Amino acid sequence: MPRRSARVPTSPDVPADATTGRAAWPLWEVFVRSKAGLSHQHVGSLHAVDAEMAVDNARDVYTRRGEGASLWVVRAADITASDPQDTSAFFGLDEEFRHSDHYVVPDGVHGI
């Protein structure tokens, strides 16, 4: 019996891969917020044709046991990151006012 290949969904927004001629699905980064947590955490990446498929696949892969309260997917090509060479501009150590070592707590204040 000949094998049937599954139909692969395509989209006009998905360019064809030059080596295979098949649609190259974009890479999506997946972020999950746990039920107890307040912020989303990066949990992995996956390939999908569009955002809807990325959410569906991320739900299946990263929240199978119901451990997620919220799910974000972001196309990896849309993420802009700072250059590691520029860390001093963003994370300078000259901001001593951010550390509580330099503040004097008045005598009447408790619980700090």
CATH class held by domain 27-102: alpha beta
Q: Which of 3, 7, 45, 5 is nearest to 26 (CA)?
A: 45
Tell me the pairing of strands 41-47 and 27-34: antiparallel
Tell me: the pLDDT tens digits for 11-34? Answer: 555 556 666 556 689 999 999 998
Tell me: the pLDDT tens digits for 54-102? Answer: 999 999 999 877 778 899 999 999 999 888 887 766 665 556 666 666 6
State the residue for tokens 């980064």: 29
Residue 48: alpha-carbon gap to chain centroid: 14
pTM of the model: 0.61
